[in-house]
Amino acid sequence: MKVFLTRQVPEEGLVLLRKEVDLEIWPGRTPPPRDVLLEYAKQVDGMFTMLTDRVDAEMIAEAKNLKVISNYAVGFDNVAVDAATKHGVVVTNTPGVLTETTADLAFSLLMATARRIVEGDYLVRRGDWVSWEPDLLLGQDIYGAKLGILGLGGIGQAMARRAAGFSMEISYWNRTRRPDLEESLGLRYAEIDEIMQESDYISLHLPLNDGTKNMVSKERIAMMKKSAILINTARGGLVDNDALYLALKERRIAGAGLDVFPKEPISSDNPFVQLGNVVLAPHIGSASVQTRTRMVRMVVDDLLAVLRGEKPERLVNPEVWEVRKSIRS
């Protein structure tokens, strides 16, 4: 069996895969070009992909030997799942594994932005710290502040648990209300506009789809307090980034902590780079040694299961199993 891995991942998790398949790894730091990805898709039995790899319907249709696409991420919007199902190709992902790690980063961005830590680091490094000053880098309090969470999946819940340790007043919006969690996590349900208007901090934990694209719109950004801070570790497309930039530049809101962007990576001339009241991270929500290694093991386990003819544990398109049976028969 042949497997193509589109980027180097922690080697510790690849030991079993190397033993059972002919593994080829793309050597670059950036994703393989589409023509390269297409050529490999035609040749291999399995693909070990990243969110940055666009596996579209045309590519899947031409991949006659392809049996499984194992995505090294919780999300799978980079894969044409319907097309994969139609052609009997199994799609897997890594749900749950990065919940706590991503919540750690979200709360880190909240704290770093609120207390202006990155600005302080830069000030010290360039030699501009001349004395203790009563108005130097005044930030925002976190303890006892109001946090609004948009999206109460696993990461949103983990964010709420961290906020509870700071005695924050936590409001949330979710597509489906979760009264079962309201008492246990100390949450109050509110509509999106109320959260935008009343929160000191707003943290996004939603998937990106037609219903959530630009959910944090120009109009909703205008509702935010002047002292408010927006945190996004979910997807860049949830936010009208042009409106966010103007609000930050004109100091109509206090700051933002961003790990994700509509188009990644952002360039050095991106307007956000020029703003001191934004903390920028290069999409590192799951980037801990422990989490990334667990993710590799999950991908490998599911990929090998499919190649052995077994049903994988983490199946994005469960209906494909019936399709595969009909294809084989």
Q: Residue written as tokens 């490999």?
A: 40
Active site residue 283: yes
Between the alpha carbon of residue 87 and those of residues 54, 60, 63, 107, 186, the distances in Å are: 17, 8, 9, 41, 46
Among 162, 235, 292, 314, the one annotated catalytic: 235
Nearest in space to 306 (alpha carbons), one of 14, 40, 37, 21: 21
Nearest in space to 237 (alpha carbons), one of 264, 259, 262: 262
* Contact between residue 280 and residue 258 where contact means Cβ atoms under 8 Å apart: yes
CB atoms closer than 10 angstroms to residue 232: 25
C-alpha torsion 191→193→194→195, nearest 10: 90
Residues 6+ apart with CB under 8 A from 24: 2, 3, 4, 5, 40, 44
* Contact between residue 240 and residue 213 where contact means Cβ atoms under 8 Å apart: no
Active site residue 87: no
C-alpha torsion 156→172→110→10, nearest 10: 10
Helix axes 154-164, 99-114, angle to 10 degrees: 50
Edge-to-edge strands of the sheet including 229-232?
187-189, 169-173, 146-150, 201-204, 229-232, 255-258, 278-280
* Separation CA 98–CA 101 (nearest Å): 5
Instruction: Supply the residues annotated as catalytic.
Output: 235, 264, 283
